[in-house]
Structures are given as C-alpha cells and as structure tokens.
A and B are shown apart, each in its own frame.
Chain A
Amino acid sequence: EVQLVESGGGLVQPGGSLKLSCVASEFTFSNYGMNWIRQAPGKGLEWVVYISSGSSYIYYAETVKGRFTISRDNANNALYLHMTSLRSEDTALYYCARHVDSGYFDYWGQGVMVTVSS
C-alpha cells in the first residue's frame, strides 16, 4: 500500500522558518510528481506547490511564491518543503500528495500541522 508520511511541523513565530518532510514508500517515488496541499483551520483545501518527478518543473501558488521552496531526494524517497517568512495565514495542516498526470492527487499523507503564532 502506498504510504506518505509527513513530519517537521510545529509552532513557529511569524517571520520564522520551518522545513517539512514527506517520506514515500511502496511505490517508485522517482516516477511521480508530488505536491504539497494545505488546509487552514475552518477553510478549504489549498494547493501549495508541485514538483515534477525529476525536479525539472516546479509550480507555486501565488500565496507562497518567493517564501516556500519545494525539493525532493529521489534516492531517499523524500519530498521537502522549506518555508520561510512565515505568516499567521500559513497556519494549516500540510499534506503531501502524489500527482496523477491528469492533475489529480491519488494518494495523500496524513498531514502535519504548522502553527504560526507569537
């Protein structure tokens, strides 16, 4: 069974930084694009960023462009999200999700909580 396990969340002050990780198993990680998707408390899901299988293509939501950086390590089946200049509005449950070519997300992790607060 495909597994995606996120880690690295926590409480951070506004303006601070945090790095999320997502470790994949039970599929050939290097064959798939990956995404980060988040859900703020009381809000809907918001797509954050996509990275292609070989890291050649990366697309960010306007709300995080210039502040967040996605990367991946195919040798270790890992996906990362480096978040800087964090704002209160970045407070959310962050999911990593596997990308299907047609633009859907067929497997998701359980999510990791990021809270930006002083």
Chain B
Amino acid sequence: DIQMTQSPASLSASLGETVSIECLASEDISNDLAWYQRKSGKSPQLLMYAASRLEDGVPSRFSGSGSVTRYSLKISGMQPEDEADYFCQQSYKYPPTFGGGTKLELK
C-alpha cells in the first residue's frame, strides 16, 4: 500500500496567517491527491483534488501544489472557520490511503 505521511500533526495559526500542510507519499502518485477538511462534529468535505484543483464552493484562499511524492495544502490568510482537521488522500493505486491528519487551530 502507498503510505501517506502528513505533517505537522497539529498547528496553531493566527488570524490572517498563511498556513501550509504537507503530505509525502511513499511512491510517485502522479498528482492523484485530494485534501479534505473536517470541522468538529461535521462530515469531511472535499477541498481539493488532482493536487491543485479546487472543489466548487471552496474559498480561493485554499490552494494545493506538489508533484511526484511531495504535496502541500496552503491556506492564505487563516480564518476562524478554517479551524478543522485536514487530511490528504492518494487515489493513484488501490487501496486509497490517507495521511494521518493535521489539526489546525486558531491561535
């Protein structure tokens, strides 16, 4: 199985701060990567797919980048509503696998 190593495990950011979360795949996943956001008590929401494509309705302060094995999610200007858990997921090979998650809190 492809291992997804996500960092950091937790992060605290101030209002307006730019935040970056990374995912490292154990092999080339050819940009087949998604990012999800899960707010407390809510269902996970798809934010980004194909590494850098924003899902409809997701604010433009979210962006994704990366290639081969290294990918990142950036939030340009932390907002209170961005406080959540974030997960990456590769869809390049079965079984789909997820990163361990990043807990993002507002400082």
Residue of A nearest to B90 (CB): A103
Tell me whether B46 and A110 are in contact (CB under 8 A). no
Interface size class, chain A: 20 to 34
- B95 at the A/B interface (Cβ < 8 Å)? yes
Cβ-based interface call for A26 (8 A): no
Alpha-carbon gap, A95 to B87, bound state (A):
15
Among the 9-residue stretches A11-19, A44-52, A79-87, the one with 4 or more Cβ atoms under 8 Å from chain B is A44-52
Interface of B is mostly: loop
CB pair B42–A59 under 8 Å, yes or no, is: no
Q: Are B55's CB and A108's CB within 8 A?
A: no
- Name A72-118 residues within 8 Å CB distance of B: 95, 97, 100, 102-111
Residues of B in contact (CB 8 Å), total: 23
- How far is it, in angstroms, between the C-alpha of A46 and the C-alpha of B96 when the chains are bound? 8
Q: When the two chains form the complex, which single residue of A46, A59, A95 contacts B43, counting CB atoms closer than 8 Å?
A: A95
Q: Is B99 an interface residue (CB 8 A)?
A: yes
14 further A-B contacts with Cβ under 8 Å, apart from A45-B89, A106-B55, A108-B43, are A44-B98, A97-B44, A100-B49, A102-B49, A102-B50, A104-B34, A104-B91, A105-B36, A105-B44, A105-B46, A108-B45, A109-B43, A110-B43, A111-B43
Interchain Cβ contacts under 8 Å between A and B, 21 examples: A44-B87, A44-B98, A44-B100, A44-B101, A45-B87, A46-B98, A47-B95, A47-B97, A47-B98, A59-B95, A100-B49, A102-B32, A102-B49, A103-B91, A103-B92, A103-B96, A104-B89, A104-B91, A105-B46, A107-B43, A110-B43
